[in-house]
Structure 1
Amino acid sequence: MSDGTQPNLVIEAAYRERTPGSAKLAAEAVRLLPSGIAHDARWLRPYGIYAARAAGCRKWDVDGNVYVDFFGGHGALLLGHNRPEVLKACQEALLEGTHYGSSHAREVRWAQLVQQIVPSAEQVRFTSSGTEATLLALRLARAFTGRRKVLRFRSQFHGWHDHMTSGYANHFDGTATRGVLPAIAESVILCDPGDGEAVRAALESDKDIAAVFVEPTGGSFGMVPIEPSFLALLRELTAKHGVPLVFDEVITGFRVAPGGAQEAYGITPDITTLAKIVAGGMPGGAVAGRADILESLDFAAMAAKGEEKVQHPGTFNANPVSAAAGIAALKIIASGEPNRRANALARDLRDRLNAILAEQQVPWAVYGTFSGFHIFTNPDGRTIDPERFDPMALSWQEMKKRDGALSHRLRLALLVNGVDISGWPGGMTSAAHDEESLSHTCEAFREALRLLRREGDIAG
């Protein structure tokens, strides 16, 4: 077995042979950008691919290689790459102007669609990203309640601002991550996902909690899953204690169903954070929720109350091109058909990949819900039947654990065979995927397992 310190030489050699153009760009990028990248999730040894174009469920790199894409624009592309209606809307908006510095009709229509589709959206405020959305949601909750602390769950991600860094990938004890003030980390209460009694105890003993944040399908779109019944308990407990419940639907919004996880589960939060799909694959995010909470942003309402308004500038809030893309995408998604298709494709893919694991006698499993899939590489060496795997039977610590070196090699092996996944490892289907792309993915997965076994990463 590989000890994780040496690269998989055969796979890496094949990858390098296919991607000389990407290698050249990576060598230049590393001089200019930390690690040569613009997003942590794009870090890959020896280097990542450099894309040149994309369409539907596929993308091409600078060397002309084509990949079935499950990275999906970090989850933003439920409709796939370059959906014609979205592309047309962006082109029309570009011709009219990329930035007015003024309000415009598209932002009104965009907000109307969000309000119509998302159950909790009494009012909407647009941002430029998901991180900005969760930051604003926390500030609004504090302004509304007059309290200081936020309760979150280990393994769940809510952006990279200071209150959200501990307990996602490390610092599960709640201590401050590098660059974050200890006083800020001390205002964050971390509970284990699914631990209702810990939440109950925290809310009963600490009256300074301003909000409870949760990814409604669990950390990283269900990589660490939680039961829907836990969401119902959170709704009950937060309502009892007057604490705003925030659903972080940056990934799940408009993906699991048109109205997000709150529609799928029938549980309405007080505040919802959105990004990715809300802007149709363009930069953009939003906070939606109760009007009395978003009222803190309202000039007239706060003046009438004699209270300080929450300030919220943002150069690219409701950018007209993002608004155009968002309108076009949401009008298509409102029917629910893209969601049903992507969810069904992911369910089929999970089943087929598990059948391959069973066939190859690899004690891993592929699991997930809705349009996501996660590859559990069994770091603790459990005896696993891939086709009967229950992720809820394992602790969040085990589900979160992964062999980073093995995940890298799996990604390389799949890239060599024309499939791109995310590094956790896993991915998301879109409405643009089809039988041909799924069949190709299954063959690529089978070949990747063979390569990993040949190099000693998989026993047998």
Structure 2
Amino acid sequence: MQQIQEAYNALASEYAANNPKSKAAYEAATKSLPGGNTRTVLFYEPFPLYTERAEDCHLWDVDGHKYVDLLGEYTAGLYGHSNVVIVEAIQAALKRGLSFGSHHTDEARLAQLIRDRFSSIELVRFTNSGTEASLMALAAAKIYTNRPKIMVFEGGYHGGGFLFKSGPHPVNVPHEYLMAQYNDTDSVDELISTDGKDIAAIIVEPMIGSAGCIPGAPDFLTHLRAKATEIGAVLIFDEVMTSRLYSGGGIQSELGITPDVTTLGKYIGGGMSFGAFGGKAEIMSIYDPRTTSITRKGASVPHAGTFNNNVLTMAAGSAGLEKVFSPGVARALHARGDELQSKLKAVAKGTIMRVTGCGSIMAIHFTATPSERIHSIRDLDGHNTFLLDTLHLYMLSQGFYLARRGFIALSLEVTATELDRFVEAIHGFLRHYDSLVSE
């Protein structure tokens, strides 16, 4: 551990010396923001970089350094930083007016495009984030079933109010949670045997995202579908991150599993603030503002949000799905991600570096557990976060921007040349710190 600390300290000192303007900007921010921060995931020691501008797949910080952006705004930056189609759509929307306070045709346009991508979604409603989408989807499930409990999974993340990395978090929305183990059908069945009649929803990420990009096994996800049907619970797939995978219809479309409700977010807003939840008309109709509907009698449930249908998100999102991110483009990006993962695994042979993920979304870990045996957050017990911190600073010094926790999400703008340079930089790290990473 001392050797790793010494390696990190050397890189941190070099980083501080090379980024005086970012350091000054951070210190100024601490006067108005707690810890100089208003988005926890962006903070890292010794201080975070401050970006001045961005174009295509590149970032420039306030000290003038250029980086290849491999973070991809945690999957939201699918289109890169300056896609012409997206920019033109936003500019055209700006010319029509910033905020209408009324219905407009782009909201129905984006809704139809989403329905076309996800056969499980019959009706959809918009929010401003994936967190809000989870809030409203779970509310719908509890109202629809008239049941109190929610099944979640250790390591799951469904937004800022739904953190389950090592048990429920104090900031969580106060539902009655039942926590099962990811990719473990026995743990699911055990909870259902005691609480099945009280479970309103089973909410799951088809690939755990923030806790390490751990894919759900097809038989595990299929089992959840069967059990939810058996007990009359609402199955919610959180595809906020994974909706971009395969042909752009998410993991559910590739596996042929139909959830009752799906939550969405990130890239679908075209780089603007976005969230959505949608699914069976019978469930979604509880939000129908008409006094009665075909599927429901009585008053509807309110769902407010000043910017739910904001003109910039609706325009950018529609342009992206309609004109840029076709199923063919999605498949090509997915294949590029699979290829990158294969190359990273090849250069990591003989070391404790592991790569997990699916297509263009992946994560690097330093652990003795082989990649193919990482099925839940528990399989990452003992993984070396100090080495991840060291890797992060090293990659910044080489001109590559990724998450401190080793998370990577490719944009459409990243080319094979840049990815090959990244693989070589990773190889350089592993060679340079051979004594720290060898198996």
Please tell me whether the aligned partners of residues 256 and 343 of structure 1 are also in contact (alpha carbons under 8 angstroms): yes
- Which residue of 1 is the match for residue 12 of structure 2? 12
The whole-number CA distance in structure 1 between the counterparts of 2:152 and 2:381 is 16
* CA 44–354 in structure 1, closer or farther in 2 if over 3 Å, else same: same
> Equivalences for 1:207-222 in 2 at 5 Å?
207-220=197-210
- Which residue of 2 is the match for residue 436 of structure 1? 417
Are 1:391 and 2:381 an aligned pair? no
Please tell me whether the aligned partners of residues 365 and 388 of structure 2 are also in contact (alpha carbons under 8 angstroms): no
> Equivalences for 1:249-288 in 2 at 5 Å?
249-288=239-278
The whole-number CA distance in structure 1 between the counterparts of 2:68 and 2:89 is 25
The whole-number CA distance in structure 1 between the counterparts of 2:118 and 2:270 is 16
**SS of residue paired to 1:253:** helix
**SS of residue paired to 1:299:** coil
TM-score, normalization: structure 2? 0.93
The whole-number CA distance in structure 1 between the counterparts of 2:78 and 2:4 is 34
Amino acid at match of 1:263: S
The whole-number CA distance in structure 1 between the counterparts of 2:412 and 2:337 is 10
Deviation at 1:228, TM superposition (A): 1.3
* CA 432–303 in structure 1, closer or farther in 2 if over 3 Å, else same: closer
Deviations 1:51-94 (A, max 9, x none): 11222222111112111111101211222222110111011111
The whole-number CA distance in structure 2 between the counterparts of 1:100 and 1:138 is 29
**SS of residue paired to 2:156:** coil
Deviation at 1:147, TM superposition (A): 0.7
The whole-number CA distance in structure 1 between the counterparts of 2:59 and 2:193 is 51
* CA 189–40 in structure 1, closer or farther in 2 if over 3 Å, else same: same
- Which residue of 2 is the match for residue 315 of structure 1? 306
| Larger CA deviation: 196-205 vs 152-161 | 196-205
- Which residue of 1 is the match for residue 356 of structure 2? 367
Deviations 1:251-308 (A, max 9, x none): 0113343211111111111000010111011101111111111111112255895534
Please tell me whether the aligned partners of residues 155 and 211 of structure 2 are also in contact (alpha carbons under 8 angstroms): no
Are 1:82 and 2:64 an aligned pair? no
* CA 102–7 in structure 1, closer or farther in 2 if over 3 Å, else same: farther
The whole-number CA distance in structure 2 between the counterparts of 1:309 and 1:230 is 35
**SS of residue paired to 2:210:** helix
Deviation at 1:6, TM superposition (A): 6.3
The whole-number CA distance in structure 2 between the counterparts of 1:323 and 1:313 is 17
Aligned match for 1:178, one of 164, 170, 176: 170
| Larger CA deviation: 290-299 vs 399-408 | 399-408
Please tell me whether the aligned partners of residues 11 and 451 of structure 1 are also in contact (alpha carbons under 8 angstroms): no
**SS of residue paired to 1:8:** helix
* CA 205–459 in structure 1, closer or farther in 2 if over 3 Å, else same: closer
* CA 428–219 in structure 1, closer or farther in 2 if over 3 Å, else same: closer
Amino acid at match of 1:188: Y
> Equivalences for 1:35-46 in 2 at 5 Å?
35-46=35-46
| Larger CA deviation: 4-13 vs 319-328 | 4-13
State the aligned residue count: 437
Please tell me whether the aligned partners of residues 287 and 300 of structure 2 are also in contact (alpha carbons under 8 angstroms): yes
Aligned match for 1:410, one of 387, 391, 396: 391
| Larger CA deviation: 293-302 vs 63-72 | 293-302
Please tell me whether the aligned partners of residues 342 and 371 of structure 1 are also in contact (alpha carbons under 8 angstroms): yes
**SS of residue paired to 2:348:** helix
Gaps of 5+ in 2: none
* CA 239–333 in structure 1, closer or farther in 2 if over 3 Å, else same: farther
Aligned match for 2:185, one of 180, 190, 196: 196
Deviation at 1:377, TM superposition (A): 0.3
* CA 459–254 in structure 1, closer or farther in 2 if over 3 Å, else same: closer
The whole-number CA distance in structure 1 between the counterparts of 2:293 and 2:280 is 19
Please tell me whether the aligned partners of residues 78 and 342 of structure 1 are also in contact (alpha carbons under 8 angstroms): no
Gaps of 5+ in 1: none
- Which residue of 1 is the match for residue 340 of structure 2? 349
Deviation at 1:435, TM superposition (A): 1.7
The whole-number CA distance in structure 1 between the counterparts of 2:47 and 2:322 is 38
Are 1:124 and 2:124 an aligned pair? yes
The whole-number CA distance in structure 2 between the counterparts of 1:141 and 1:401 is 36
Are 1:338 and 2:329 an aligned pair? yes
The whole-number CA distance in structure 2 between the counterparts of 1:178 and 1:254 is 31
**SS of residue paired to 2:411:** coil
The whole-number CA distance in structure 2 between the counterparts of 1:278 and 1:246 is 18
Deviation at 1:5, TM superposition (A): 6.0
The whole-number CA distance in structure 2 between the counterparts of 1:353 and 1:298 is 48
* CA 450–29 in structure 1, closer or farther in 2 if over 3 Å, else same: farther
Please tell me whether the aligned partners of residues 366 and 373 of structure 1 are also in contact (alpha carbons under 8 angstroms): yes
- Which residue of 2 is the match for residue 68 of structure 1? 68
Please tell me whether the aligned partners of residues 352 and 437 of structure 2 are also in contact (alpha carbons under 8 angstroms): no
C-alpha RMSD of matched pairs (Å): 2.3
Please tell me whether the aligned partners of residues 285 and 293 of structure 2 are also in contact (alpha carbons under 8 angstroms): no
Please tell me whether the aligned partners of residues 357 and 363 of structure 2 are also in contact (alpha carbons under 8 angstroms): yes
Deviation at 1:188, TM superposition (A): 0.3
Are 1:139 and 2:139 an aligned pair? yes
**SS of residue paired to 1:106:** helix
TM-score, normalization: structure 1? 0.89
Please tell me whether the aligned partners of residues 2 and 457 of structure 1 are also in contact (alpha carbons under 8 angstroms): no
* CA 446–15 in structure 1, closer or farther in 2 if over 3 Å, else same: farther
Amino acid at match of 2:278: A
Percent identity over the alignment is: 32
Amino acid at match of 1:254: R
Please tell me whether the aligned partners of residues 238 and 245 of structure 1 are also in contact (alpha carbons under 8 angstroms): yes
The whole-number CA distance in structure 1 between the counterparts of 2:88 and 2:373 is 42
* CA 238–390 in structure 1, closer or farther in 2 if over 3 Å, else same: same
* CA 431–221 in structure 1, closer or farther in 2 if over 3 Å, else same: farther
